[in-house]
Chains A and B, each alone.
Chain A
Amino acid sequence: MISHNPSVSTQTIPQQNQHTKSKKNFNNCNIHKLLSKIHTHDFFPNIKITPVPHIFSSLGLITNFSPQYTMEIDDILQDFEQQARAPPIKRDADLNQQLVAAMLNERMAPELLPYKTELMDRVLTEIQQQQQLLLDSYEYGDSNAEAGVISSDFKLQLMIIETDIERIAYLLRLYIRTRLAKIDSFTIYYINESAGEGSSGGIALLSPAERLYMHKHFKILTQLYNTSFLGKLPSFLQLLDDTTGGETMIATPNLDQPVFIRVVCDEPIVLTMDGDDELTLTKNGIYVVRYRLIKLYVQIGDIVLI
Chain B
Amino acid sequence: MYGDQANKLILEARRSNNLSELPLHQHTLVKDIVEEIGVLNKDVEYLNEQQSVEEIPASEARVHQCQLFVTHLCLRRNKRCLLAYQKMRADKIAEFLWLNIDPVAGTETTVSHLKEDSDSPLNNTLMSKLVLLNLSHSEQEYYKQYQDLVLEFKSGFADIDLSGDLEPPTDIFIDVRVLKNGGEVQTEYGVFNLIKDSQFYVRKLDVDRLIQQGYLEEI
Footprint of B on A, CB under 8 Å?
124, 127-128, 131, 159, 162-163, 166-167, 169-170, 172-174, 176-177, 180, 184, 209, 212-213, 216-217, 220-221, 223-225, 227-230, 232-234, 237, 245, 247, 249
Contact = CB atoms under 8 A, between A and B. Distances in A.
Contact of A223 (B142, B165, B172): B142
Interface in B124-172: 136-139, 141-142, 145-146, 149, 152-153, 156-157, 159-162, 164-166, 168-169, 171-172
Q: Is the interface of A mostly helix, strand, loop or mixed?
A: helix
Given A229-B34, A237-B79, A172 B160 contact: yes
Nearest to A130: B159
B75, B138, B171, B204 interface centre (most CB from chain A within 10 Å): B138
B194 interface: no
B153 A228 contact: no
Nearest to B75: A237
A225 B86 contact: yes
Nearest to B164: A173
Given A209-B153, A217-B146, A124 B34 contact: no
Interface residues on B, range: 35 or more
Contact of B205 (A159, A166, A220, A221): A166
Which 7 residue pairs of A and B lie closest in terms of their CB atoms, listed nearest first? A227-B138, A224-B142, A220-B145, A169-B160, A234-B41, A166-B169, A228-B138
Interface of B: 30, 33-34, 37-38, 41, 72-73, 75-76, 79-80, 82-83, 86-87, 90-91, 94, 107-108, 136-139, 141-142, 145-146, 149, 152-153, 156-157, 159-162, 164-166, 168-169, 171-172, 204-205
Contacts of A131: 107-108, 159
A172 B161 CA distance: 10
Nearest to B144: A220
A173 B166 contact: yes
B100 to A, nearest CB: 15
22 contacts: A131-B108, A163-B171, A169-B161, A170-B165, A170-B168, A170-B169, A172-B160, A173-B161, A173-B164, A174-B166, A176-B160, A177-B162, A177-B166, A212-B153, A224-B86, A224-B141, A227-B137, A228-B30, A228-B86, A229-B86, A233-B34, A245-B73
